[in-house]
Amino acid sequence: MMVGKQLVSTAIAIHFLIGLLFNNSALAQGVSIRVEAEVLSLNGFVFEDDGDPLFSGGRIKLATTSGSASGNFPGSSGNYDVTVRYFDEADGISTMSVSIAGVELDAWFLSANTDQLITHTVASGLFINANDLIEIAAQRAGGEFVRIDYIEFVPLDVIPEYNLTVNVSGSGNILYNPPGNSHLEGTVVSVTAIPTVNWFFDDWTGDINSTNNPLTFTMDSDKVLTANFFTNLPVITSIFPSADTIGAVIEIRGFNFTGATEVKFSTGKLSPNFTVLSDTVIQAEVPVGAITGPVTIKISAGTSSSAINFVVILPPDIVVFSPQSEYPGLPVTITGTNLAGVTTVSFDGVSAAFDIESNTEITAIVPANATTGKIMVSNSAGSDISDTDFTVIELTNIRIEAESMQLNGFITENTAIPGINFSGERINLNNAIKI
């Protein structure tokens, strides 16, 4: 019995895979799409296959008084003729119906006087959407088991789908009507360009060149459009380098820089010296008092700030370290400010390995040859030295006198042995071996 179930499962899997391959080919060539009944979701039906060559593989039969077989339409949207192939037996009058997208298309009796395979036309020229739900329902009467082979769809004029891609140049958003980027041929689509604050819509370029907004067109092929936005305000796209020290000269890149009258850093500090090299490049000195934050450029049309922060590297400051003393090779936590850009850590002038945990914490390893003294941290903006000394605990020899240990079989003795000096007492084993 187990072998039989395995064969049935294998047969269903094979039919399903063949069906997928066949359907893809059918769509490409415009030929029929056949969905084998056994690959549908079965409710009250069971799979059977006795090798009868009249059926295209296996089939399903109604095992209860009523049931259904359902699945999603695997083809593209379009107009189709729909047929069902089933076996009509002479020993009962059962009923069948076919529904697509919840609409019953046809219902009929299985009332043949002799056993025969029948191909029944359910609908002609029916428009079906991709992924519409297909459902075959049946009611059993007498010995009529409602054996179903397949449902087939013959395309009359498969409607192709086209992709719409809209890119944005500048700053703005796109509203699609109808929503989505994939549309059937003949669909009328409207796209609306919505600029962000201080930006303006200019035009559409690409497969359609227009200044209309919204832009309405009919999908007759794949289309790629670009919505172009502009602004009269300065726009900062990058800062190089992205981090530097007070007094450094940095390069600000973007556009609409011509006529700039002011370059400002965080905390409102103005750059003491800046040069407009072109409409797209400004060089500016980082002012005293600047901190990490956006950079602002002012022109006659208005002012705008960078979306990215410029990081001002300030000298590090050690607030405390813990522990206050430690052995070489063990970690010490240094807490302070402006530690994120630290490049060196030293203990009394001896370089140490370290990890930057955050802008306020560093973990450093006490160097092997370190001596007691100050801890120093440095970055490109400067250095800071701890207010107090860090004490390096020296490793010394440790002597354990034998007589102070727990003895088992040994005894202590203190009699002199000529020519040998012991550091106090000693122990021996049963007075025979001396240590």
Using the predicted structure, report yes or no on whether residue 164 has a pLDDT greater than 90: yes
pLDDT on residue 53: 78
H or E, element range at 12:
helix 2-29
Using the predicted structure, report yes or no on whether residue 427 has a pLDDT greater than 60: no
pLDDT on residue 26: 41
C-alpha to C-alpha distance for 431 and 434, rounded to whole angstroms? 7
pLDDT on residue 426: 62
Using a pLDDT cut of 90, give the percent of the chain over it: 69
H or E, element range at 358:
strand 354-358
The whole-number average pLDDT for the span 258-283 is: 95
Using the predicted structure, report yes or no on whether residue 431 has a pLDDT greater than 60: no
Most confident of 74-78, 89-93, 157-161, 317-321: 317-321
pLDDT band for position 21 (cuts 50, 70, 90):
very low
C-alpha to C-alpha distance for 213 and 202, rounded to whole angstroms? 9
Using the predicted structure, report yes or no on whether residue 16 has a pLDDT greater than 60: no
pLDDT on residue 297: 96
Using the predicted structure, report yes or no on whether residue 352 has a pLDDT greater than 70: yes
Domain 317-392 part of CATH 2.160.20.60? no
Q: Alpha carbon 290 to chain centroid distance?
A: 36
String of DSSP letters for 120-180:
EEEEEEEEE-TT-EEEEEEE-BTTB--EEEEEEEEEEEEPPEEEEEEEEESSEEEEEESSS
Express each pLDDT in 369-423 by its tens digit.
999 999 999 998 999 999 999 999 987 777 777 778 888 877 777 777 776 766 6
pLDDT on residue 30: 56
Express each pLDDT in 275-310 by its tens digit.
999 999 999 999 999 999 999 999 998 999 999 999
The whole-number average pLDDT for the span 67-89 is: 92
**Among candidate residues 258, 264, 265, the one with its CA nearest the CA of residue 300:** 258
For β-strands 361-365 and 331-337, DSSP reports them as antiparallel
pLDDT band for position 234 (cuts 50, 70, 90):
very high
Using a pLDDT cut of 70, give the percent of the chain over it: 89
C-alpha to C-alpha distance for 392 and 408, rounded to whole angstroms? 39
Express each pLDDT in 185-209 by its tens digit.
899 999 999 999 889 999 999 999 9
Using the predicted structure, report yes or no on whether residue 131 has a pLDDT greater than 60: yes
pLDDT on residue 1: 32
**Domain 235-313, CATH:** 2.60.40.10
Using the predicted structure, report yes or no on whether residue 102 has a pLDDT greater than 90: yes
**Domain 2-158, CATH:** 2.60.120.260
The whole-number average pLDDT for the span 163-180 is: 95
* Average pLDDT over the chain, rounded to an integer: 87
pLDDT on residue 90: 84
Distance of CA 313 to CAs 133, 271, 372, Å? 63, 16, 30
Using the predicted structure, report yes or no on whether residue 23 has a pLDDT greater than 50: no
Q: pTM to 2 decimals? A: 0.49
H or E, element range at 14:
helix 2-29
Residue 236: partners with Cβ closer than 8 Å, 6 or more residues away: 252, 253, 254, 295, 297, 304, 305, 306, 307, 308
